[in-house]
Amino acid sequence: MPEKRHLLFALIAAAAASGLSALGQVPQSKPLSAGLVENIPADKLHPALLRSVEEAAGLVKAWVFFTDKGVDSPQEYAEAVNRVAAEYNPRATQRRMLRGTRAARGEALFNEHDLPVVRSYIDAVQATGARVHVTSKWVNAVSVYADRQQLNEIAKLPFVRKLQPVARAAKRIPPPVEKLVAESPRDVQPDLPDAVADIRLDYGNSEIQLTQINLIALHDEGFTGQGVIVGILDTGFHRTHEAFNHPLHPLNVIAEYDFVNNDGNTDIEGGDPSSQHNHGTMILGCLGAYMPGELVGGAYNASFVLAKTEDTTDEYPAEEDNYVAGLEFIEAHGADMSTSSLGYIDWYTQDDLDGLTAVTTIAINISTSLGVHHCNAAGNEYHDSNPNTSSLIAPSDGFDVITCGAVDSSGTIAYFSSDGPTADGRVKPEVLARGISTHTVSPSSDTGYTTADGTSLSTPLVACAVASLISANPQWTVAQMRDHLFETADYYVANGTYDPLYVRGYGIIDAFAAWADCNLNDIPDHCDVDCGEAGGPCDLPGCGGSLDCNANLVPDECEVDCNGNGIPDDCDMADCLPDDPLCADCNSNDVPDECDIPFPQQGRIELGSSKVPCEGTVAITVADCGLNVDDGIVETTTVTIDSDSEPGGESVLLTETGPSSGTFSGTVAVSETDVAGVLLVGTGDNVIATYVDAHDGLGGTDVSVTDAATVDCQGPVVSFVQVTDIGPFEATVTFQVDEPAKVTVHYGTACAALTEEVTVAAYQLSFQVVLDNLDKGTTYYFAIDAEDEAGNPASDDNDGDCYTFATEEIPLYYTELFDSSDNDLAYKSLTFMPNASVDFYAACGEDISELPTSPTGGATLSLSEDGYEQVSL
């Protein structure tokens, strides 16, 4: 059976480092043994592997899956998982907590997938003479180079579950792949109001493809991938291009690994084919390029983790084991997302693309369950009008993968774009972006730019939108990201459903609408509310047509209005007159009582924060209209609060906030010292506040209502402090913390005199703090203060030395108009000679009778007072 081979472009948005191994050399072949498999269970050797052995002239590459992780008891399992959790990347752990499905289900953040493969199992496989290439903890397997006899011996091992071939990459490139445009005209730019064009970044040739998915509008709101780690899986990355090395905005790569050559360099290396880096470099350009006026990537402020997983030689085609290893590497480095234009088919059939079978698909399912958003190319396998046939590649069939098809600049589906559905009937592809003549950097010239075709190119554009949306909404789960993108894509907006032919999916994405166009009227929400100044970015047809009673920049028609009176519920509350029974809100849930009926008395209790300090106070609030017995007096109620350290708890008296409010509040002290009236707490304790609701409005009586928090005694840890985008008058301080925190950066011209500060009050994990109004050519010092949600403080002043950077030194332009009023140059010559400083020249004057150089044919410069022109000599 001839091998099916096709090429897509691969990309993963996130960060790197895991317990993976890869060996770069293929071992020498041993003689194949004759005979059939003996004394081996029939289900251990996949039929496709047996065919591969018979057809191969030497060694074959196979997956060896193991039965278990070598833990024998629940206690041993718990200890092993806890060891992994204690040493894991803090950013990856926080992402799992924030967006992972395990956390959402109340399960442990770490499980058997995180445990290492049993070392003795690997040793036993190697003892057969087979050579291990990749070890994967997620799928509990190793990939090996082996002959028939070695495979027989491996299959006999009692802890081996099954063996199957390692699938090879699909490789088909729709021609033409690359069309150089270094000297060709730029795409026609859309007409923009002058006020917008004047302030917008010049995206160069990427303007059209980013505008098609409405990503620049999201950029204009300040969301450009900042604080996001994007992982890319591809052929390699040559990063000497000018668009990766802009002096004010160089590409930020935080980790990389070459799974082909088993080293830490993802650039082209000795022995690599000359084109090894082409595909990956172009994908990286779509995402991270920054050369205003030429090309700007759609996620230019993101950071990147690079995984070189594909060998472009015909002899050793890219295979799925490197892909799985790359995924684990990216997740372990705390990446927020991954994107891949690589896919696998080989011996798989379309019936296998059911979201459960292909090894890469299984690995993707694990990755997305850990909160890693993932974009994948649908494939370049063409499509038809039959909804019962499909041409997908793995892992585009993953359950929570955002699978990407391709269109041209007019929105017409690309002829090569693969169609669905999956074997189990799910919509694939789901979204579209430009994949014909997509602009990116040239991999063959450090100053050149090019275009290329393929779902390989549409996928990183979708990934750019996802990265920018993560900047805007880092709390969105994988499912929420998918929903926001699908429900605002153009086919769904026009038809209220997906394409029944499974070619266009939900349509071309609208990155801005996914973030903020609640009424889907093609007008940004804040422009619905206010047109702004004439000629401004909100001066659009239909702008200003929506009311915004609560000034939250969301049109009133998008807000909850339970009683249908055209006024959002919280505005109903704000406009209430004292004791007005028609819009009272006795349980403080921002819903008018008339809408709560017949259950207006269902109460709730809240702690002031999800984190509790080891020393301090905790606020408690109860809202229950049933506790408001007399509207004429301020009443009280008692609740209890307990902790793991003090399970008996403390009683806390709460006082009504007003005579008829039905809301009661109070505080309780907490401490690591056991004192009467103070709740005893310790690090990691669960704290639970409880009150008894006599009538819960749902028919229940004496119902315990609770709210919980966790004790946090440690302040946040600041790490990865860097200074980027250093200019003459500003610089950007970037850093991370290991838990959500608010921060203040103190800075000045001496470590002992940090007189200026910038505060970021929103709790987050990654920061990019701009320090502006700086002086040119000046050394600055800075330190960082952070405070977590429990109020625990922390400081990082670089061990007392402060962090430091120097602003760029630039000349101050000075001009003099030589005329008869003061300095007439008639019959005089001035010669300026640099004096080795930035700002000054030595000058000499002498009398002349004629000009030293005839001005005939020269360029005339008309300068005003203090005007200037730069002249290249």
| Domain's final residue, options 479, 495, 511 | 495
Q: 723: which 2 tokens?
A: 């200074």
Report how far residue 563's alpha carbon sits from residue 604's, in angstroms, rounded to the nearest whole number. Answer: 22
Report how far residue 768's alpha carbon sits from residue 763's, in angstroms, rounded to the nearest whole number. Answer: 13
Q: What would the pLDDT profile of 817-840 be if each residue is shown by its tens digit? A: 677 667 677 788 888 887 777 767
**Helical ranges in 165-300 per DSSP H:** 194-199, 207-212, 215-220, 278-288
848 lies in some domain? no
Span of 174-188, 702-716, 756-770 with lowest mean pLDDT: 174-188
Report how far residue 456's alpha carbon sits from residue 405's, in angstroms, rounded to the nearest whole number. Answer: 9
Span of 153-162, 740-749, 809-818 with lowest mean pLDDT: 809-818
Q: Is the domain of 763 the same as that of 661?
A: no
Q: Is the domain of 614 the same as that of 742?
A: no
Q: Is the domain of 322 the same as that of 409?
A: yes
Mean pLDDT estimate for the chain: 83
80 lies in some domain? no
pLDDT at 527: 66
Question: CB 20: neighbour CB atoms within 10 A?
Answer: 23
pLDDT above 90: residue 802: yes
Q: Which residue has the tokens 């002992």?
A: 752
pLDDT at 865: 57
93 lies in some domain? no
Report how far residue 526's alpha carbon sits from residue 537's, in angstroms, rounded to the nearest whole number. Answer: 11
Closest CA to 787 of 809, 763, 803, 805: 763
Q: 649: which 2 tokens?
A: 């708890």
| Domain's final residue, options 457, 472, 495 | 495
Span of 4-18, 154-168, 376-390, 829-843 with lowest mean pLDDT: 4-18
Q: 430: which 2 tokens?
A: 């789901």
787 lies in some domain? yes
374 lies in some domain? yes
Report how far residue 443's alpha carbon sits from residue 277's, in angstroms, rounded to the nearest whole number. Answer: 7
Closest CA to 511 of 524, 498, 500: 524
pLDDT at 449: 95
The distance in angstroms from the start CA to the end CA of the chain is: 66
Domain that holds residue 662: 604-696
pLDDT at 16: 32
Cis status, amide bond into 598, omega within 30 of 0 = yes
Task: Read off the pLDDT band of 575 (50, 70, 90).
Answer: low
**471-474: long-range contacts, CB 8 A cutoff, minimum separation 24:** 471/223, 471/224, 471/225, 471/226, 471/227, 471/228, 471/301, 472/218, 472/221, 472/223, 472/515, 473/515, 474/98, 474/227, 474/228, 474/336, 474/764, 474/765
Q: Which CATH number do you get for residue 775?
A: 2.60.40.10
pLDDT above 80: residue 218: yes
Report how far residue 109's alpha carbon sits from residue 492's, in angstroms, rounded to the nearest whole number. Answer: 35
Q: What would the pLDDT profile of 729-773 be if each residue is shown by its tens digit? A: 999 999 999 999 999 999 999 999 999 999 998 888 889 999 999
pLDDT at 440: 96
Tell me, what DSSP letter sits at residue 643?
E
pLDDT above 60: residue 171: no
User: CA dist 648 to 324, 637, 680, Å?
Assistant: 49, 19, 10
Q: Is the domain of 624 the same as that of 726?
A: no
Q: What would the pLDDT profile of 352-398 be if each residue is shown by its tens digit? A: 888 888 899 999 999 999 999 999 999 998 998 888 888 898 899 99
Q: Is the domain of 667 the same as that of 741?
A: no
pLDDT at 28: 34
676 lies in some domain? yes
**Helical ranges in 417-568 per DSSP H:** 455-472, 478-487, 490-495, 511-516, 525-529
Q: Is the domain of 684 the same as that of 623?
A: yes
pLDDT above 70: residue 179: no
Task: Tell me the torsion sign for CA atoms 431, 437, 439, 444.
Answer: positive
Q: Which range has the top average pLDDT, 53-62, 437-446, 819-828?
A: 437-446
pLDDT at 830: 83
pLDDT above 60: residue 297: yes
Average pLDDT (458-480) is 94
Report how far residue 345's alpha carbon sits from residue 165's, in angstroms, rounded to the nearest whole number. Answer: 12
pLDDT at 558: 77
Answer yes or no: are the C-beta atoms of 517 and 490 closer than 8 Å: no
Q: Which residue has the higher pLDDT, 171 or 323?
A: 323
pLDDT at 604: 87
H or E segment and range at residue 521:
none
Q: Is the domain of 251 the same as that of 351?
A: yes
Q: What would the pLDDT profile of 224-258 be if each residue is shown by its tens digit? A: 999 999 999 998 999 999 999 999 999 999 999 99
pLDDT above 60: residue 598: no
Q: What would the pLDDT profile of 264-287 be if each residue is shown by its tens digit? A: 888 888 888 888 888 999 999 999
Task: Read off the pLDDT band of 590 (50, 70, 90).
Answer: low
Q: Is the domain of 727 the same as that of 680?
A: no
Question: CB 18: neighbour CB atoms within 10 A?
Answer: 22
pLDDT at 846: 87
196 lies in some domain? no
pLDDT at 524: 63
pLDDT above 50: residue 20: no
Question: Which residues have CB under 8 Å from 357's CB, separation 6+?
Answer: 348
**251-254: long-range contacts, CB 8 A cutoff, minimum separation 24:** 251/284, 251/288, 251/290, 251/304, 252/302, 252/303, 252/304, 252/724, 253/303, 253/304, 253/305, 253/306, 254/15, 254/16, 254/229, 254/303, 254/304, 254/305, 254/333, 254/720
| DSSP string over 224-262 | SSTT-EEEEEES-----SGGGEETTEE--EEEEEETTTT
Task: Read off the pLDDT band of 18 (50, 70, 90).
Answer: very low
pLDDT at 198: 42
pLDDT above 50: residue 30: no
Answer yes or no: are the C-beta atoms of 255 and 203 closer than 8 Å: no
Q: Which range has the top average pLDDT, 273-287, 309-323, 513-527?
A: 273-287
56 lies in some domain? no
Q: What would the pLDDT profile of 605-662 be if each residue is shown by its tens digit? A: 999 888 999 999 999 999 887 788 887 899 999 999 999 999 999 999 999 988 878 8
| Domain's final residue, options 475, 495, 515 | 495
pLDDT above 60: residue 536: no
Task: Quote the percentage of the chain above a pLDDT of 70.
Answer: 80
Q: Is the domain of 610 the same as that of 640?
A: yes
Report how far residue 769's alpha carbon sits from residue 759's, in angstroms, rounded to the nearest whole number. Answer: 8
Q: What would the pLDDT profile of 101-148 be if each residue is shown by its tens digit? A: 988 888 899 999 999 999 999 999 999 999 999 999 999 999 999 998
H or E segment and range at residue 154:
helix 148-156
pLDDT at 228: 96
pLDDT at 273: 82
Q: In terms of pTM, does the model score above 0.75?
A: no
pLDDT at 868: 63
pLDDT above 90: residue 563: no
pLDDT at 651: 94
pLDDT at 591: 60
Q: Is the domain of 617 the same as that of 757?
A: no
Which pairing describes strands 663-671 and 679-680: parallel, antiparallel, or unpaired? parallel
622 class by beta-carbon count within 10 Å (0-12 exposed, 13-18 middle, 19+ buried): buried
User: CA dist 603 to 577, 594, 640, 709, Å?
Assistant: 23, 16, 16, 19
Q: Which CATH number do you get for residue 317?
A: 3.40.50.200
Closest CA to 420 of 412, 428, 411, 430: 428
Which pairing describes strands 841-847 and 828-834: parallel, antiparallel, or unpaired? antiparallel
User: CA dist 593 to 254, 573, 621, 625, Å?
Assistant: 53, 10, 19, 10
Range 364-380 burial, b when 16+ CB lie within 10 A, else e: bbbbbbbbbbbbbbbbb
Domain count, the chain: 3
pLDDT at 65: 96
Residue 336 CB-half CA count within 13 A: 28
pLDDT at 577: 52
Q: Is the domain of 437 the same as that of 372?
A: yes
